[in-house]
Amino acid sequence: MEIFSLIKQNDPENQFNVLKNSYSQIEYAQNNQVNLSAIDTNKIKNIILCGLGGSAIGGDLLQNFLRDELSYPFQVIRNYYLPAYADENTLLIASSYSGNTEETISCVNAGLKRNCQIITITTGGKLEELSQKYNLPIAKLLPGFQPRYALWINFFTLLKTLQSLKLIPVQNEITKQVIELLKKRGDEFSTFPNSSLEFAEKLVGFIPVIYSVSDLTSAVGSRLKAQINENSKLHAFCNFFPEQNHNEIIGWETFSEKQFNSVVINILDVDYHPQIKKRFEIVTELIRRSGVEVLSIESNLPDYKLRLMDNIYFSDWVSYYLAVIRNQNPTEIKNINYLKEHL
């Protein structure tokens, strides 16, 4: 069956157009005005972002994106609890697309008791109610998306918020470049044939194991893993170099495709430390000796931040196409909905 028929059959909610028009989310975030006058930046000594799933990955991406520019300790919390150090010197950013993520609501309530300075990023729900009740600054997101498809509005709202508070350098120029990049890539990946569809086809019948690098491309690996889980309805696993070289590498010594039919995806970048590049070469050789195919995702753009966004966007399209060619709806999340109903 040709790809057009598969898309029509398996994507009734038209996430295809959502992906293609991802750049418009960034434009909205750039033009969205948020009143941050209640925040005293002189008190801030650390930043915590609390969120889950698609509302948390923006925090991971921020840590990679601003790896040389973020001068405040920054932690992403994916749980019901705040760390012991959270206090009046903490900027607590509560990110929940729906506004009803119970773990995030729990963190906000804890933050209020500890006098944290709190900003909320949401479309509404209980988080908006808390924001109004306690006069917390709120960055309203556009409704109507699945949270994982709203990464761009989430991330660039977070970026603009920190920029407006002058906690990070101005990011306006690179933001414009990312908008143009996504417009260009959106046109490429929505016409056929294209590289993201061809990559997805190589994953059919396998369980992806994804390797990226801590602090540089870790968000790309985590994002791809989660997108394959939710969009493609498929198990995927992710680990990070160089940590992988100290434990998981040994697992390949007894690999058997009868137990685990896998393909490995390396997330590569020219900025990696020379020893990291060498590690990838050696580990790739070892894995191929086990009879496992190793694929690579690597952007050739000149700027690190653009390469990061390029790889994220490419990966999102890969997970989308992997869904539709496996006859899966890239929107449905039946098990998550079942879990929420029974909690």
Q: How many CA atoms lie within 13 A of 286 on its CB side?
A: 15
- Per the domain annotation, does 207 fall within a domain? yes
Question: Helices 218-230 and 57-65: crossing angle, nearest 10°?
Answer: 160
> Is 329:78 a contact under the CB 8 Å cutoff?
no
Q: Give the H/E segment covering residue 117.
A: strand 117-122
CA distance 156 to 307: 16
Is 179 part of any domain?
Answer: no
Q: What is the pLDDT of residues 164-206, one digit of tens each?
A: 999 999 999 999 999 999 999 999 999 999 999 999 999 999 9
Domain end (from 113, 141, 171)? 171
Token pair for 285? 């050789």
Give per-residue pLDDT as tens, 42-78. 999 999 999 999 999 999 999 999 999 999 999 999 9
> Residue 260 belongs to a domain with what CATH number?
3.40.50.10490
- Choice among 246, 258, 334, 342 that is catalytic: 246
Q: Is residue 4 part of a domain?
A: no
Domain range for 26 is 11-171
Outline where 93-167 has alpha helix (H): 102-113, 125-133, 151-164
Q: Which of 20, 128, 160, 230 is catalytic?
A: 230
204 is a domain residue: yes
- Is it the case that residue 143 has pLDDT exceeding 90? yes
In this predicted structure, the answer to whether residue 292 has a pLDDT above a threshold of 70 is: yes
When divided into structural domains, the chain yields a total of 2
Residues 163 and 216 in one domain: no
Tens digit of each residue's pLDDT (9 = 90 or more) over 301-322: 999 999 999 999 999 999 999 9
Give the model confidence (pLDDT) of 212-231 as tens digits.
999 999 999 999 999 999 99
SS3 12: coil
For residue 185, being part of any structural domain is answered with no
> Which positions ≥6 away from 176 have C-beta within 8 Å?
none
Q: Is the pLDDT of residue 152 over 90?
A: yes
182 in any annotated domain = no
The mean pLDDT value of the chain amounts to: 97
- Rounded to whole angstroms, the Cα distance separating 39 from 43 reads 9
Would you say residue 1 has pLDDT above 70? no
- Distance in angstroms (rounded) separating the CA atoms of residues 79 and 222: 17
pTM of whole model > 0.85?
yes
Q: Is 340 a catalytic residue?
A: yes
Q: What is the pLDDT of residue 228?
A: 98
131 plus 225 within the same structural domain: no
Q: Domain for residue 23, yes or no?
A: yes
Task: Write down the catalytic residue from 8, 45, 176, 340.
Answer: 340
Residues 217 and 156 occupy one common structural domain? no
Mean pLDDT of 128-155: 98
pLDDT at 258: 85
